[in-house]
Amino acid sequence: MRDEDTRPTLAARRGFLAKLAGAASCAGAAVAAASLGVIPAASAKTETPLDAASFPTKDYDWTRHQWGFGVDATKCIGCLRCVEACKTENDVPRNAHQFRTWVERYVHLEGEGEVRIDSQQDPVNIEASGSEKEFRFANRYKDAKVDKAFFVPKLCNQCTHPACVQVCPTGATYRTKDGVVLIDHGYCIGCRYCVQACPYGARYFDEEKGVSDKCTWCYHRITKGLQPACVEVCPVGARVFGDQKDKQSPISLFIRNNRVQVLRPETGNAPNVFYVGIDKEVN
Amino acid sequence: MEAIIQFAPYTGWVYPNETVFEWSVLIAVYPYLTGLVAGAFTVSSLYQVFGFERLKPVAHMALLTSLSFMIFVPTPLLLHLGHPERAFNSTITPHLTSAMAMFGFFASFYVALLILEGWFAYRPFIVDQAQKQSGLLGKFYSLLTLGSHDVSEHAMRYDRKWIFALAVIGIPAAHGLHGYVGFMYGSLKSREWWSSDLMPVIFLFSAIISGVSLLAVLYVASCKLRKIAVDLACLKGLAYTIWAFIMVALVLEGLEFANIVYKGREGVDMIMQYVTGPLLVPYFILQFAVGAITPFFWLSYMIWRGTSGRALVIGVTVCACLVLFSVFMMRWNVVIGGQEISKTGKGLLSYHMPFFGKEGALVAILLTIAPLGLLYVLTRLFPPWADAATHAHS
């Protein structure tokens, strides 16, 4: 009796499971088909479009430029006008903890083995400026015997192989055809994996907007034929910017006429900010 | 209104943008929960796949524990996101080079697998309850039968095949999920403290010991609550498992640290200054001495002396609690510790955990305890007890 009862039920159950498997396969196939369409489209966010469409400015063709940035540390006087200009131009939060660009000061004091390094965010420098919204280097070594000292401007290196782009789970950050790493603030989920991945500390998280942010070499300006704000205001020409495809541009001449180096080449990121006049401690 | 940002005090030279801690305690809770899932599943697999009969009393609880914790795994991440409403961006348009992008898929797959395996394991119980219970609860169980009421021996054999297959798939799934969590840190070249090939396996083994320990504690607690005797053979089985895996975990962690010191790459001076300074207590004392080496020797002693009875129950429970604590400290030391060492290799930061707030200690504690609440509800609906008359088949 029991056996007779169970046989048909088992058959029905098998049938049910077969249907379930069938439905699952159909759903799986549908998802796979959709994925084939969606995934390349999504991953393409990080790849450059093939067409030479004008983006984001009319009459701008991003396939015809390859931007590059040079820093001549021997010229920098640490006036921090670049930092001011950047904060204003790019709506960077006015505090001493979030920067798209910053300047580092390296000081070797007589008789000291270790180099002393600070930046405008250092509490001593903030005290000297009187506000977290304004920046200056305090004259903290005026009574000391200085062996060697220099300033190093820093900014996003717009790497050719950016670790930040590699780790972004959504593709919200991507590298443009003309060589700048940008962030789609309308798509960033705010996980901050990119902030962790950047070996240069170039990224910060904007709490108010809930997204990551960083230097774009003033992409909104350079695509209109202007210079980045920091380059524009630098009074000594320590910051050099231009198109590497133009052999007579300031950056091409800078790279050609100097022995340039990049920061942390061992990361394999292939940075595109080229330095002259930095010392062994700078990374 | 000014944005509320926690600035971290620091010494030495740190990049200006580093003075805000981007990954809080919640990001330490996330791998902790994932690890408990993987570890609990290991116990279930040891019974279902490898035939460790003595683990039968905890086999079903292992499944329920795994499921309860897995459901809560995404919560610390969601609370941490700047735009949680966009969380699915990483699933609908995954960026394939990102280690993080695949999380949604792995996690969903694993939850589905757990639910399916749980359904097969509990099917006789569900069928039985569907017939016995009336009202809303009866309807609930009826719905869960999915129209299949066959519990004949023939059908059971068929179910067992599914359970075995799912458990087999579940082993790489659970361990892959957690190994992948380790890869998220190990693959970052920006921090010497994280950047290690050993990171995924270290995460994996610490996950296993934490999950098994959690089950040991839960099993003893459940026996006390239900006023039944603890099955000493089962508890010994769990103790052996912890003992075996803790050894591997210790060796791996030791190798990892030895590698950093021996290679002595740029920034190692700062790491040494860090581990002998601020990290001395959380790393060497809490994580290693108290949380790992003490239980290892205690368990070794109990195995050697053949300790039994009340002493065994107390010993294993205390050791398991210590291991649970140690593994949390390991997550903390990786996630928070990694950020306390500056990327410059020339400075140290210090993280101060707020108690209140979205990413404070209170939320972290609640998120770690919440799965236990869910587990309690699940054990009421699907009793995992091997001694009960209505016990699910295995």
What domains lie within chain B, and their CATH numbers? Answer: 21-381 (1.20.1630.10)
Residue B335: closest CA among B106, B39, B100, B30:
B30
Both A23 and A73 in one domain: the answer is no
3-state DSSP assignment of residue A104? strand
Q: Please name the helix (run of DSSP H) or strand (run of DSSP E) that holds residue B206, with its range, or none.
A: helix B199-226
Q: Which residues contact A215 (CB under 8 A, 6 or more apart)?
A: A86, A90, A100, A101, A155, A156, A202
Res. A14 pLDDT band, cuts 50 70 90 = low
Burial of A182 (0-12, 13-18, 19+ CB in 10 A): middle
What rounded mean pLDDT belongs to chain A?
88
Answer yes or no: are the C-beta atoms of A254 and A69 closer than 8 Å.
no
Kindly list the residues from chain A whose CB atom is less than 8 angstroms away from the CB atom of residue B146.
Answer: 16
pLDDT at A22: 66
Both A66 and A32 in one domain: the answer is no
Both A41 and A168 in one domain: the answer is no
B309-323 residue pLDDT tens: 999 999 999 999 999
Kindly list the residues from chain B whose CB atom is less than 8 angstroms away from the CB atom of residue A38.
Answer: 92-93
Both A7 and A75 in one domain: the answer is no
Q: What are phi and psi of A201, to 5 degrees?
A: 65, 30
**What is the reported pTM?**
0.89
Question: Averaged over A193-207, what is the pLDDT?
Answer: 97
**B82 closest CB neighbour out of A10, A45, A205:** A205
Kindly list the residues from chain B whose CB atom is less than 8 angstroms away from the CB atom of residue A167.
Answer: 97-100, 188
3-state DSSP assignment of residue B342? coil
Residue A133 lies in a domain: no
Tally A–B CB contacts below 8 A: 181
Mark which of A30, A46, A62 sits at the end of a domain: A46
pLDDT at B61: 96
- Nearest chain B residue to A283 by CA distance is B344
B79 Cβ under 8 Å from any chain A Cβ: no
Probe site for chain A from B2, B22, B81, B339 (most A CB atoms < 10 A): B22
Q: Domain of A78?
A: 52-93+154-283
Record: contact A10-B147, CB cut-off 8 A: no
Both A203 and A232 in one domain: the answer is yes
Res. A55 pLDDT band, cuts 50 70 90 = low
Residue B2 DSSP symbol: -
Angle, alpha carbons A122-A127-A128 (nearest 5°): 100
Residue A138 lies in a domain: no
Beta bridge partners of A183: A173
Matching residue, tokens 């940002």: B5
Answer yes or no: are the C-beta atoms of A196 and B190 closer than 8 Å.
yes
Record: contact A2-B344, CB cut-off 8 A: no
Of these ranges, A24-28, A106-110, B103-107, the one predicted with the greatest mean pLDDT is A106-110
Record: contact A121-B266, CB cut-off 8 A: no
Inform me whether the pLDDT recorded for A149 exceeds 90: yes
Both A212 and A260 in one domain: the answer is yes
Q: Is the peptide bond between A49 and the residue preceding it cis, with omega within 30 degrees of 0?
A: no
Record: contact B188-A196, CB cut-off 8 A: yes
**Nearest CA to CA, how far is A170 from chain B (Å)?**
5
Q: What is the CATH number of the domain that holds A244?
A: 3.30.70.20
Alpha helices in chain A (DSSP H): 2-43, 81-89, 123-129, 163-167, 193-197, 219-222, 229-233, 250-257
B191 Cβ under 8 Å from any chain A Cβ: yes
Alpha helices in B49-152 (DSSP H): 56-72, 74-80, 89-92, 103-132, 135-145
pLDDT at B103: 82
Q: What percent of chain B has pLDDT over 70?
A: 97
Residue A11 lies in a domain: yes
Inform me whether the pLDDT recorded for A255 exceeds 80: yes
Q: How far, in Å, CA of B187 to CA of B180, rounded?
A: 10
User: Lowest-pLDDT range, A264-278, B3-17, B96-110, B289-303?
Assistant: B3-17
Matching residue, tokens 């309850």: B129
Q: In B201-238, which positions are buried (b, 16+ CB within 10 angstroms) versus exposed (e)?
A: bbbbbbbbbbbbbbbbbbbbebbeeeeeebbbebbbbb
Residue A134 lies in a domain: no
pLDDT at A23: 65
From chain B residues 288-327, the ones with a CB under 8 A of any chain A CB are none
Residue A169 lies in a domain: yes
Inform me whether the pLDDT recorded for B285 exceeds 50: yes
Both A20 and A63 in one domain: the answer is no
Both A40 and A56 in one domain: the answer is no
- Tell me how many domains chain A contains: 2
Answer yes or no: are the C-beta atoms of B343 and B191 closer than 8 Å.
yes
Question: Averaged over B196-225, what is the pLDDT?
Answer: 96
Q: How far, in Å, CA of A26 to CA of B158, rounded?
A: 24
Answer yes or no: are the C-beta atoms of B235 and B220 closer than 8 Å.
yes
Both A161 and A175 in one domain: the answer is yes
Written as six digits, the tokens of B323 are 């291991």
What rounded mean pLDDT belongs to chain B?
93
Record: contact B92-A203, CB cut-off 8 A: no
Record: contact A166-B96, CB cut-off 8 A: no
B142-163 residue pLDDT tens: 999 999 999 999 999 999 999 9
Both A18 and A78 in one domain: the answer is no
Kindly list the residues from chain A whose CB atom is less than 8 angstroms away from the CB atom of residue B103.
Answer: 169
**Nearest CA to CA, how far is B81 from chain A (Å)?**
5
Kindly list the residues from chain B whose CB atom is less than 8 angstroms away from the CB atom of residue A205.
Answer: 20, 22, 82
Both A42 and A64 in one domain: the answer is no
From chain B residues 149-178, the ones with a CB under 8 A of any chain A CB are 149-150, 152, 154-155, 158
Record: contact A193-B98, CB cut-off 8 A: yes
3-state DSSP assignment of residue A116? strand
pLDDT at A15: 65
Cα B8 versus chain centre, distance: 29
B108 Cβ under 8 Å from any chain A Cβ: no
Q: What percent of chain A has pLDDT over 70?
A: 80
Neighbours of A146 (CB within 10 A): 12
How large is the ipTM?
0.93
Q: What are phi and psi of A54, to 5 degrees?
A: -75, 120
pLDDT at B281: 96
Residue A145 lies in a domain: no
Q: How far, in Å, CA of A225 to CA of A58, rounded?
A: 12
pLDDT at B268: 93
Residue A215 lies in a domain: yes
Q: Which residues contact B231 (CB under 8 A, 6 or more apart)?
A: B54, B57, B223
Answer yes or no: are the C-beta atoms of A71 and A240 closer than 8 Å.
yes
Number of alpha carbons in the 13 Å side-chain half-sphere of residue B37? 31
B46-86 residue pLDDT tens: 999 999 999 999 999 999 999 999 999 999 999 999 999 99
Residue A68 lies in a domain: yes
Both A164 and A231 in one domain: the answer is yes
3-state DSSP assignment of residue B349? strand
Inform me whether the pLDDT recorded for B175 exceeds 60: yes
Answer yes or no: are the C-beta atoms of B342 and B14 closer than 8 Å.
yes
Q: Which residues contact A86 (CB under 8 A, 6 or more apart)?
A: A92, A99, A100, A101, A215, A229, A230
Answer yes or no: are the C-beta atoms of A183 and A90 closer than 8 Å.
no
Neighbours of B92 (CB within 10 A): 13
Answer yes or no: are the C-beta atoms of B100 and A167 closer than 8 Å.
yes
Res. A12 pLDDT band, cuts 50 70 90 = low
Residue B81: closest CA among A213, A207, A93, A173:
A207
Answer yes or no: are the C-beta atoms of A73 and A276 closer than 8 Å.
yes
